[in-house]
Structure 1
Amino acid sequence: MAVFTSVTLDDLAQWIKQFPLGKALALEGISSGIENSNFFLTTERGEYVLTIFENLGFEQLPFYLQLMRHLAARGIPVPDPVANDQGELVVALHGKPASVVSRLDGSSQMDPQPAHCAAVGAMLAKMHLAAHDFPLSQPNLRGLDWWVATAPKVLPYLSPDNARLLTREIDYQQAFAETGNYQRLARGPVHADLFRNNVMFVGEQLSGCFDFYFAGVDTWLFDLAVTVNDWCIDLATGELDERRVAALLAAYHAVRPFTLDDRDAWQPMLRAAALRFWLSRLYDLHLPREAELLTPHDPTHFERILRERITTPPAGLPV
């Protein structure tokens, strides 16, 4: 379990009085995630999630939490942040920024079928449209600028072949970002981390998505590519499962129709999405932070996906 900051019920006894939640009754560390300290929190008023932010500062967090509030108010099934008696969504706990949000029902679907992928595609398109008028703006902090800055830090740990792959793909993505095709893509707030473990289902019904703490303003197509690269692949090979891809893209397209620019950018965006997570996993593996118990994700998973996206053009988007 990734717990960077330990919290006990005694720690919460006074702290939680600022929220309209009653007493804290139970607290359990959450085993997934490697960026923040997360806990299931049971109070007299119900079930919540307590997050202590280990990397993000007080000045950055309003974007994420206000975005969640914005989406929840528009009917998107996301956790709703709880304000304290001063109207604040971010408060200090053990000297670090913390928040409390409502807990979603259901469980993650780790063996998704086309119907699950279709539900995710439709929700993602609705999320993009619902966030289009969100007034705050913050760049994707794990976007191209971060890739360029981080690659030199991990290159010394890589084999010559992987170092060449990383360097060439960064060059490719920098060049693509200068094209008119890229610059015409629709943009807005994106989730940027919509993996299987960040979406909940009750039976076959999608009940919500969470973990918005990589969100930022980026192209909608990048967000879609991140999602497809997790929901629609054979985990052993990284190859796309065309039935799941078709279901997810058709459902998205029915809500937010694709453009010709989307079609032409699809393969570069799938490559970009694979690069982003290969690089972040390399960074977490070779330059780890201390935690109570932390198991980094395997970087070779996204290395395989990146190589597959480079060598095998995907089926086209429905336009």
Structure 2
Amino acid sequence: MNALTQSIQVQTSTEPCIFVAGHRGMVGSAIVRRLRALGHRNIVTAGRDELDLLDAAAVREFFSAHKVDQVYLAAARVGGIHANDTLPAEFIYQNLMIEANVIHAAHEHGVERLLFLGSSCIYPKLAPQPMREDALLGGALEPTNEPYAVAKIAGIKLCESYNRQYGRDYRSVMPTNLYGPGDNFHPQNSHVIPALMRRIHEAKQADAPEVVIWGSGTPRREFLHVDDMAAACVHVMSLERETYWSQVLPMRSHVNVGCGEDCTIRALAEAIARVTGFRGALRFDTSKPDGAPRKLLDVSLLERLGWKASIDLEEGLRHTYAWYLEHRETVRAQ
């Protein structure tokens, strides 16, 4: 009996079989934790060594082998600005293939409910702040991550199209900047929180007098702990069909997921310095680019659907730093 078969519990008539695609990633693993905390045991997972989501035939075979009732599509090729800017072909191709293969196979095998996870980068570069769901396709995208954003927009439209043509209940959520246990701490390819946390921690270990941070520190960004994101995903999936679509359709066909608050990059760096215990200086290199001045999601639709974030940023940073310290030997090798 292989590991995949072992992970499948005996189905009952009352408990749905839930497939979490991308369960080893930061978001997917958090969704699995949340589902298990709520008592779900009939969870199907498959690592990359067991199931290649880029292989359409393998994905169809997987769905044929398992009677899946719900899908959380958290699998994706992800990375920071540097990775998106230098590997655009990988980002658009792999994300398009993953979402197309999984969504189509789910439809072919009668899966009625699916949740697709996108990204707030789907919105136009100059979208009004805070960004509402109906800002989608209202202007040009940020050039550095346009291929990734286009793939995520395609995922929304895939779900929308199967709903419209076949009456499926395929939902989409667009998270803000996420962080937490399981994040990518690669020195070049990570997002802002793990990148700063690693650099500031290593500066503390080296007793360095300062850490240099790109930009002025004035841009504002919103950050959501991944456990809050997972809770929001499960909440959205659990809503009755009529309740969900009566709220969502007038705005578009997806839901923003964030905390509704932002902070400057300077304030973020100062919070990480406090959490790590770094006592040196933070010097901002204003010769480096800042990016967009502000990126904040409008989360009023999510709140109308009955969910609000609960993890404070500094509390979440402490939790993340504790995880990093426990796993730093592994992430240093990445």
Question: Given the two structures, how large is their TM-score scaled by the length of structure 2?
Answer: 0.28
